[in-house]
Structure 1
Amino acid sequence: MSELKFIDLFAGAGGLSEGFVRAGFIPVAHVEMNKDACDTLRTRTAFHWLKENGRAKEYYDYLQGNISRDELWSKIPQHLIKSVINTEISEETLPSIFDQIDAELATDTVDLVIGGPPCQAYSVAGRVRKDMTDDPRNHLYKHYVKFLTEYQPKMFVFENVPGILSANNGHYLQLIFDAVGEAGYELELKVLNAQDFGVLQDRKRVIIIGWKNNLDLEYPQFDKVEMKFEIAKHLFNDLPKINSGQGHWGVSEYVGKTNNYLESTGIRNGINFTTQHISRLNNENDLEIYRIAVDKWVNDGKRLHYAELPERLIKHNNTKTFTNRFQVVNHKGVSHTVVAHICADGHYYIHPDINQNRSITVREAARIQSFPDDYFFESSRTAAFKQIGNAVPVLMGEGIANKIRQMIK
């Protein structure tokens, strides 16, 4: 069959898109308001074009610091760079976005729209912090639906946090259902967990899948991937052992052999190095807390409660809420959910190896999100962490994409 083409809205760093590309879909455009994420998408777009044309070495030259980012981007057709549209989706910008997408499409059609509006307005944590009733992000779904009306894709995938189910007592969700129905689509939703797709992370997401009314379809059944792998043994063990404040933004060579998990997931994909294996520098107070937290978790299987610390280590007056502010990544099972707040501090993502005594690196966070090791997050360590925390795990995206491909065929 002909190539299946998709538009990615609120694309972030491209985790969901990467999964669809792996499944054989072709991106027509990515729309994202964050510049750093757009730069990441452009760099990844360059990788895919160079690889498809037998020139992957030129991408790896960039990772190794042999050429600049502008030189990398100049090596591919410039319409592909322009297909990453760095703008906020709003009533004012929609005509311009449509014009740019139309120029990229030419006479082709769009088979699929994917993506999910920013989740802060729907998240439980966001609603705790402030009244989100008037937050304009609550209504971004209306713009999403306008892409369905404009391009009439066969199907769409709408991703968001579980909090969308209860936001405003389910009112926002009903508005989405009504708007999609008026646009001529049927839809169903389920709460899916990334670990069921082989991701070493407990990450639940609402996945809404829709299709045009004239298609005889129903929500797909996903086979659960049986998990037999552990983070310390299978996900982190081949990376250089570093301490707080150490590592490299550029090249880090592997210190261990690959394994079935890294190979089968495509995290390690043929080259002998990765990048962005760099950790934060922590103060001595935090490092002592890290040692206590790791010892308690690894040896006793218990989480550290902040109020239990020696008084000299307690620096926050509030010891009754957020008592799990220091949490170790589960070394034997799957990680707790990686969120964007990892960009602000790493206390919630402490490495389980007490000898390394640090929070996890950018590369380790990316691996927990199942990004391949040659995926490069642009701009800075803080920006990279934020992009990773906001992303859909690649393996989850690929699993969804494979089912969608079958449904369209």
Structure 2
Amino acid sequence: MAIPVIDLFAGPGGLGEGFSSLLDDNNERIFDIKLSIEKDVNAHETLRLRSFFRKFKPDEVPEAYYNIVRAKSWRKRKELIEKLKDDFPVEWDEADQEAWCVELPYPEEYSSEGERKGGYNKKEIEERNNLIDDRISQALSNEKNFLLIGGPPCQAYSLVGRSRNKGIFNEDHRVHLYKEYLRIIAKHQPAAFIMENVKGLLSSSVDGVKIFDLIHKDLNNPTSVFPEYSCPKYRIFSLTKNPKSIKNGEPEYRSGKDYLIKSEDYGIPQKRHRVILFGIREDFQHPGQFLEKKGKVPLKDVIGDIPPVRSGISRRFTGYDNENKYANGNPKRVYQKLNDSDDLWSSVINKQINNLKKWGDLPLNGLKSGPTEYTNGIGSEFIKCNKTIDPKHPLKSWFIDDKLQGLANHESRSHLTQDLMRYMFAGLYVDKFGTFPRLKDYAKHNSDLIPDHANVDSGKFTDRFRVQIANEPATTVTSHISKDGHYFIHYDPSQCRSLTVREAARIQTFPDNYLFCGSRTAQFHQVGNAVPPYLAYQIAKIVLDFYKKNVS
């Protein structure tokens, strides 16, 4: 029988995808996602559609699913999804039951003026918890030895978030959302759990107490926080190394860093560092297996063969309106709206190339004046194509689905004309120096390359425009990619753009037949918040070994 899984704070389903991708000899899924809980509407749509996909064996997924992925607009996709509901009512109903759009409760939050901003009062929390507990129990059908996976929202723990908010405060409900994860452990007592969070968890603190130590202690003994439940203890293990010792049955490690997983060491084309805990109920034993290191995967290996697309153009910065000012007293910026086209793009790019020729010593690497030859334009929600990765690449079978015959979610953003100039410069700079330029490097070549930004002289954003390096794993894909693409510039200066959703998804190791729902901004946000599925797949193998050795 498949191992039942409950997925909390599921996002678009990265952890669940990795676990459910593990198949037995009969091509059946070894881990069965019984319930995925996510509050974001767009991520929930993604989860539900992927759940439908998993109702079939990998080689038996109906053509109707692929027609949805191949649609070139979301209007068409919505029409096809409605038809899918009618044509496959049983499978769709099962998917709808599995993917649940609901917010896990957190304590009331108030403004400094005493107004309620969010959260739930005591009665509302109790009602919501009862609802969640009933749904979990129904999904599990009284199976106690299930697996719990997921990770509480991590913005409050992230290093960037702490810098922006000048520390972490007890009032920030995101610090305490792990307690809902803990409560579900205490109430439902899984055989094991996998809990993921950001690296900043190791160094953040509340009221002088390290958050990691607090969470570790609570996870070890859930009843200490929720005495109303009679819950066994859990031993918390690293997924990468043995503890330095076992004391009274409890694993002891040198530091919290022993729980840190550097994704690039495990075949993920991305320098993504995350804390991942493997909790095992005290009546079971650790399987003795750990993640095995693999060779590093350069970025170009997973996106280098994806069809090139040009950047879009949205507007041009023309100056300031000194008669109208922002709230801080600065004059308002004035922009000229532009109608994107291949001809306009060629004109802008040609001008940039000519400027770069005047400005200095960067090799133009074959960049030529004249109209672009990109037949894909700015891309599309689906592009028909064949070879998108080296047939000999070890992740080829992970990414590629021959039935798909193309790529979804591969459409470029629209940018300011001035930003395109900076993107091209950044790509050429990396070609010559092997590293991305800082703002001082832009200034050294020409003042026109310096962005019009209030913080440009603060010294805080010297890496504001960060081009990815082709021969290395990418930098961490985060949810910030949904706001702008400045930190995720494509290494090819001729494309002169930020990454597309599909390229970000490749970096995160989502299979190409994994469709992200919602607007492009929503798609980026989902990809950036996810756990890399291929890393989760490797973790799933260790968890499977645990079940084989402990659970009959």
TM-score by length of 2: 0.70
Query: Conserved in 1, the CA contact under 8 Å of 2:15 and 2:536?
Result: yes
Summarize deviations over 1:332-353 as a string: whole Å, max 9, x none: 1210111100000001111111
Q: Residues 79, 49 of structure 1: CA spacing in aligned structure 2 closer, same or farther, 3 A cutoff?
A: closer
Query: Conserved in 2, the CA contact under 8 Å of 1:327 and 1:348?
Result: yes
Residue in 1 aligned with 2:175? Answer: 138
Structure 2 unaligned residues grouped into runs of 5+: 23-29, 106-124, 223-232, 239-258, 313-377
Q: Any idea what SS the aligned residue of 1:211 has?
A: strand
Query: Of 294, 307, 318, which aligns to 2:427?
Result: 294
Separation in structure 1 between the aligned mates of residue 85 and residue 197 of structure 2, nearest angstrom: 31
Query: Of 208, 213, 224, which aligns to 1:174?
Result: 213
The correspondence of residues 164-313 of structure 1 with structure 2, limited to 5 A, is 164-168=201-205, 171-183=210-222, 184-189=233-238, 190-217=259-286, 220-227=289-296, 229-232=297-300, 234-245=301-312, 246-254=378-386, 258-261=390-393, 263-264=395-396, 266-271=398-403, 272-309=405-442, 310-313=446-449
Deviation at 1:216, TM superposition (A): 2.2
Separation in structure 1 between the aligned mates of residue 388 and residue 100 of structure 2, nearest angstrom: 39
Which of 241-250 and 108-117 deviates more? Answer: 108-117
Greater CA radius of gyration, 1 or 2? 2
Separation in structure 1 between the aligned mates of residue 62 and residue 264 of structure 2, nearest angstrom: 30
Residue in 2 aligned with 1:34? Answer: 40
1:370 and 2:370 aligned:
no
Separation in structure 1 between the aligned mates of residue 501 and residue 394 of structure 2, nearest angstrom: 17
Query: Of 192, 203, 219, which aligns to 1:155?
Result: 192
Residue in 2 aligned with 1:78? Answer: 93
Query: Conserved in 2, the CA contact under 8 Å of 1:85 and 1:97?
Result: no
Separation in structure 2 between the aligned mates of residue 317 and residue 255 of structure 1, nearest angstrom: 44
The correspondence of residues 330-341 of structure 1 with structure 2, limited to 5 A, is 330-341=469-480
Separation in structure 2 between the aligned mates of residue 276 and residue 237 of structure 1, nearest angstrom: 16
Summarize deviations over 1:96-123 as a string: whole Å, max 9, x none: 1122222222343452101100111111
Separation in structure 1 between the aligned mates of residue 59 and residue 388 of structure 2, nearest angstrom: 31
Q: Any idea what SS the aligned residue of 1:260 has?
A: coil
Query: Conserved in 2, the CA contact under 8 Å of 1:238 and 1:254?
Result: no
Aligned residue pairs, count? 406
Q: Any idea what SS the aligned residue of 1:210 has?
A: strand
Query: Conserved in 2, the CA contact under 8 Å of 1:9 and 1:144?
Result: yes
Q: Residues 294, 77 of structure 1: CA spacing in aligned structure 2 closer, same or farther, 3 A cutoff?
A: closer
Summarize deviations over 1:282-335 as a string: whole Å, max 9, x none: 121001101111111122113211233222232113231111011111101210
Separation in structure 1 between the aligned mates of residue 153 and residue 547 of structure 2, nearest angstrom: 27
Letter in 2 for 1:61: N
Q: Residues 124, 219 of structure 1: CA spacing in aligned structure 2 closer, same or farther, 3 A cutoff?
A: farther
Query: Of 302, 316, 325, which aligns to 2:453?
Result: 316
Structure 1 unaligned residues grouped into runs of 5+: none
Letter in 2 for 1:313: L
Query: Conserved in 1, the CA contact under 8 Å of 2:306 and 2:389?
Result: no
Separation in structure 2 between the aligned mates of residue 281 and residue 72 of structure 1, nearest angstrom: 33
Q: Any idea what SS the aligned residue of 1:282 has?
A: strand
Letter in 2 for 1:81: D
Which of 361-370 and 17-26 deviates more? Answer: 17-26
Q: Residues 73, 340 of structure 1: CA spacing in aligned structure 2 closer, same or farther, 3 A cutoff?
A: farther
Deviation at 1:16, TM superposition (A): 0.8
Deviation at 1:146, TM superposition (A): 1.4
- Structure with greater contact order relative to length (CA < 8 Å, sep ≥ 6): 1
Deviation at 1:6, TM superposition (A): 0.8
Query: Conserved in 1, the CA contact under 8 Å of 2:466 and 2:488?
Result: yes
Letter in 2 for 1:176: I
Deviation at 1:383, TM superposition (A): 0.3
Which of 255-264 and 74-83 deviates more? Answer: 255-264
Summarize deviations over 1:344-402 as a string: whole Å, max 9, x none: 00011111111111111110000000000010000110000000001000111111111
Query: Conserved in 1, the CA contact under 8 Å of 2:435 and 2:469?
Result: no
Residue in 1 aligned with 2:70? Answer: 64
Identical residues among aligned pairs (%): 33
Query: Conserved in 1, the CA contact under 8 Å of 2:168 and 2:204?
Result: no
Q: Any idea what SS the aligned residue of 1:80 has?
A: helix
Which of 247-256 and 121-130 deviates more? Answer: 247-256
Q: Any idea what SS the aligned residue of 2:399 has?
A: coil
Query: Conserved in 1, the CA contact under 8 Å of 2:426 and 2:493?
Result: no
Deviation at 1:77, TM superposition (A): 4.3
Deviation at 1:62, TM superposition (A): 1.3
Residue in 1 aligned with 2:499? Answer: 360
Q: Residues 77, 296 of structure 1: CA spacing in aligned structure 2 closer, same or farther, 3 A cutoff?
A: closer
Separation in structure 2 between the aligned mates of residue 402 and residue 3 of structure 1, nearest angstrom: 14
Query: Conserved in 1, the CA contact under 8 Å of 2:303 and 2:389?
Result: no
- Kindly report the root-mean-square deviation, in angstroms, between the aligned alpha carbons of the 2 structures: 1.9
Letter in 1 for 2:137: D
Residue in 2 aligned with 1:124? Answer: 159
Q: Residues 269, 127 of structure 1: CA spacing in aligned structure 2 closer, same or farther, 3 A cutoff?
A: same
Q: Any idea what SS the aligned residue of 2:470 has?
A: coil
Q: Any idea what SS the aligned residue of 1:346 has?
A: coil
Query: Conserved in 2, the CA contact under 8 Å of 1:43 and 1:73?
Result: no
Letter in 1 for 2:517: E
Deviation at 1:407, TM superposition (A): 1.3
